[in-house]
Amino acid sequence: MSDTLQIKSVPISRRDSFNTRDKQTRELKPFYSGDIKILLLENISQKAVDILNKAGYQVEFHTKALDKDALIEKIKDVHVVGIRSKTKLTQEVLSHANKLIAIGCFCIGTNQVDLTYAASRGICVFNSPFSNSRSVAELVIAEIILLARQLGDRSREMHDGVWNKVSNNCYEIRGKTLGIIGYGHIGTQLGVLAESLGMHVIWYDILPLMPIGMSTAVESLDEVLAEADFVSCHVPETPETKNMIGARELALMKPGSYLINASRGTVVDIDALAVSLKSGHLAGAAVDVYPKEPLANGPGFESPLRNCPNTLLTPHIGGSTEEAQRMIGIEVATAATKFVNTGASINAVNFAECDLRAIPSTDRTTVRIVNVHQNVPGVLRQINNILADYNVNKQISDSKGDVAYFMADVTVENSKDINTIYEHVTAIGENIITRVLF
């Protein structure tokens, strides 16, 4: 390998690298000389673009999702791809990704990515599980008020030239009960906001969690449905949550109550919800997510919920605020950059989470070996046998499912030894991806 080692010192905080004692640490980079190429789709935040450009990468930016054929062609030559919810990274697509090492999902969900296959190819997936929590919680609060006052219908009537001043079945939300299904980052923030408006909050989660404020945990989903005036869903898309709110669950809800779904489109049976709304059993609903969503903006959206009474339909905009998109851009772009440059997989979705403390700026001979391999017995022994002739300063290894992740900082005196280590580790039969960072 002909690359000349160029060491650059940068300031680093405890947040950036745990257990770091040196005020100056080395900035790691991939060992190969080719530029890192990034493909960003679906109008990713400019803040993310700025972070990736500042890292020295080649960034290709698109405002929309690509069709499958164009995506397959583009993904062949990139190291990182950034997407939101519309782009589907299936096994078929990822099988063409010859250089891909990381995927950034600039959103909460990752169901648009084949996580297991990505891991088997050594592709680490990151998302942003926290950054848009406030935006979603605020949208739900707005929808609760809009539904309680039938403002969606009144606004539509006024646009149609109809004056319809009514107070029947219009309510304040103070004193009403909000039932939250899924008490995670969004659910907890929603509960705090609802309490500040005078609502009583109950919630159900499959995990034992600490209540925030005056909220109360209940023992079952059925209990939430039976007691709440407003029910709001905040659960991930899993086989267990598919159609978790169906005809049976809707029938359990109080007559005249309201349902809100800003989680995943498969959580609520849309046809059953439409029947419940048209029959008058539910007084209203707000839906932001759907089982099938259009790939692009424009006409053509179809749903049984269209024209249902007191029903608010929004185009998956729960996290679509400037503040949320900026924070998501920072979080995911930073995680991807750290993975590319240092190998850190903290907060990865489909990888074991590993990191090593930073290399001091005074250390000019240490390189970092990063390896993804099949999680079978004997691989670590083979790797350590290869490294046995060198001083291993520190190492870490962990696994998740069928894939294991290994990192080690090794003292190497010359580039020939770097090549030797790289070639030998790559030659291991169970090797998936090996990278050397310096």
8 vs 190, residue with greater confidence: 190
Quick one: tokens of 37?
């190429």
| 15 counts as catalytic | no
Query: Is 70 exceeded by the pLDDT of residue 147?
Result: yes
Cβ atoms of 147 and 258 within 8 Å: the answer is yes
Measured at the CA of 6, the angle between CA 345 and CA 395, to 5 degrees, comes to 35
| 373 counts as catalytic | no
Mean pLDDT of 78-93: 96
Residue found by looking up tokens 């949550």 in the block: 241
pLDDT of residue 11: 38
Query: Is 80 exceeded by the pLDDT of residue 40?
Result: yes
Residue 61, number of CB atoms within 10 A of its CB? 16
Which segments of 20-106 are extended strands (E)? 24-26, 37-40, 58-61, 80-83, 102-105
Cβ atoms of 286 and 143 within 8 Å: the answer is yes
Percent of the chain topping pLDDT 90: 86
Mean pLDDT of 169-196: 97
Catalytic residue among 26, 79, 134, 316: 316
Beta bridge partners of 282: 257
pLDDT of residue 255: 98
Q: Which residues does 109 contact at the CB level (< 8 Å), separation at least 6?
A: 85, 127, 236, 237, 264
| 293 counts as catalytic | yes
Q: Which residues does 150 contact at the CB level (< 8 Å), separation at least 6?
A: 166, 169, 170, 284, 310
Q: Which residues does 221 contact at the CB level (< 8 Å), separation at least 6?
A: 181, 204, 244, 249
Rounded Cα distance between 204 and 62, Å, is 40
Per DSSP, 118 falls in state H
Q: Side chain identity at 318, as an amino acid letter?
A: G
Rounded Cα distance between 437 and 29, Å, is 5
Cβ atoms of 248 and 195 within 8 Å: the answer is no
Going 128 to 131 to 137 to 138, the CA torsion angle's sign is: negative
Measured at the CA of 413, the angle between CA 411 and CA 415, to 5 degrees, comes to 110
pLDDT of residue 296: 80
Catalytic residue among 73, 92, 157, 293: 293
pLDDT of residue 228: 98
Query: Is 80 exceeded by the pLDDT of residue 29?
Result: no
pLDDT per residue as tens digits for the range 330-357: 999 999 999 999 999 999 999 999 999 9
Percent of the chain topping pLDDT 70: 93
pTM, rounded to two decimals: 0.81
Catalytic residue among 121, 200, 264, 435: 264
Quick one: tokens of 308?
């249902």
At 153, is the pLDDT very low, low, confident or very high (cuts 50, 70, 90)?
A: very high
Residue 243 three-state SS:
coil
pLDDT of residue 129: 86
Sheet holding 311-313, edge to edge: 216-217, 200-204, 177-181, 230-233, 257-261, 282-287, 311-313
Task: Of 85, 78, 82, 74, give the one whose Cα is nearest residue 44.
Answer: 82
pLDDT of residue 294: 87
Residue 385 φ/ψ, nearest 5 degrees? -65, -40
Task: Of 400, 318, 329, give the one whose Cα is nearest residue 128.
Answer: 329
pLDDT of residue 23: 53
pLDDT per residue as tens digits for the range 4-22: 333 333 333 333 433 434 4
User: Mean pLDDT, the chain, as a whole number?
Assistant: 92
Going 125 to 131 to 134 to 138, the CA torsion angle's sign is: negative
Quick one: tokens of 250?
């809707």
Quick one: tokens of 279?
């029959």
Least confident of 27-31, 85-89, 383-387, 433-437: 27-31
Per DSSP, 245 falls in state B
Mean pLDDT of 391-401: 96
pLDDT of residue 361: 85
End-to-end C-alpha distance for the chain, whole angstroms: 13
pLDDT per residue as tens digits for the range 203-261: 999 999 999 999 999 999 999 999 999 999 999 989 999 999 999 999 999 999 999 99
